[in-house]
Amino acid sequence: MPDPVLRRSSGPRIMADGEPVYIVRSGQRFVGTHASDVGNGLFVFRDPVSNVRIEDIAVTGGYRVIENGAISRDARADCVGLHVRGARATGLTRSFARIRYNSHHGVFEDVQASGIRTTGAHDLPVGIAFMGEAHDFRLERCTMRGFCWQRGEKRYWNGDGFSSERGNARLIFRKCAAWDNSDGGFDLKSTETLLDDCVSGRNARNYRLWSSIHATRLTSIEPRKTGGIGDTVHFMLMGTKSPGAEPPVIRIDHLVVRSTTGYPIFDVHDGPVRLVIGTHDIQVPKGTPLVRRQGKAGVAGGIQFAGAPPRL
């Protein structure tokens, strides 16, 4: 039996009035949904579901487009085989999607979402967030822009384009971009992560990496401070704190850096990391620090370049 199609491109526009709209069930397919002023989820996964498709949607204003949240803390809402293709969302106060539990083997393709500066006490904005044990997701040609959390000038202004937490694994970001977020463009704690030809620009920390990753072509453009406390850098690398533990390995096949300011390229925190770089194309002001070490942190063995290191 074919999957039901719940909305076609010719369907009516939805005025959500700040409320969730669809409680999603397994096998459903949503096509051409247009909505405005959505609450905590235009699409909500409250129970375990599988093989859901969301295609060609447009959202104007609201809190979050896709929410993966069970009814109670003791329940689960694993989502298996989610496929989101073709989405445009603007004016979001919290996020485009939050994926949690043991959700796995999903795809986000051609998704563009933008946030607005929010001031809510607990509403940390993130374009696409992975939490729990979510694993084996692929994101292609997704752009997250302008997820900003305005707080007091002596507080930390969080707000990320893409984020993953410890427990997440095997995430692929291919030709994805993050712009104008108040904290990290890509703020990633997941293991076995691949960044394939990604761009991050005008975020306070274009890349904030907490565990081993592999990147093919990786581009960092003009980091920019939005407000609050915290460093402004191209790459913030979080080393291991555990004595005797192997440091995370950051491997970048081709590094591209563009900046008119002297913000450090690599800023290392907490403990040692290993950094392996193939070719590079770096254009920054003379004297820009290649590596800045915070406390006992550092690059174990120095940066390993395949060729000559850059002259800064």
Rounded distance, CA 135 to CA 172, Å? Answer: 10
Residue 2's pLDDT band, with cuts at 50, 70 and 90, is very low
Specify the pLDDT at position 5. 45
Q: What is the DSSP string of 184-252?
A: EEEEE--BSEEEESEEEESSSEEEEE-S-EEEEEEEEE-----SSBS--EEEEEE---STTPPPPEEEE
Please give the average per-residue pLDDT across 93-118, as a whole number: 97
Residue 299's pLDDT band, with cuts at 50, 70 and 90, is very high
User: Is pLDDT above 70 for 247?
Assistant: yes
Rounded distance, CA 166 to CA 187, Å? Answer: 11
Q: Residue 74: is it exposed, middle or buried by C-beta count within 10 angstroms (0-12/13-18/19+)?
A: exposed
- Tokens of residue 172, six digits: 């692929």
Specify the pLDDT at position 259. 97
Using one digit for the tens of pLDDT, what is the confidence trace for 46-61? 999 999 999 999 999 9
Using one digit for the tens of pLDDT, what is the confidence trace for 168-218? 999 999 999 999 999 999 999 999 999 999 999 999 999 999 999 999 999
Average pLDDT score over the chain: 93
Specify the pLDDT at position 4. 46
What is the pTM assigned to this prediction? 0.94
Specify the pLDDT at position 7. 43
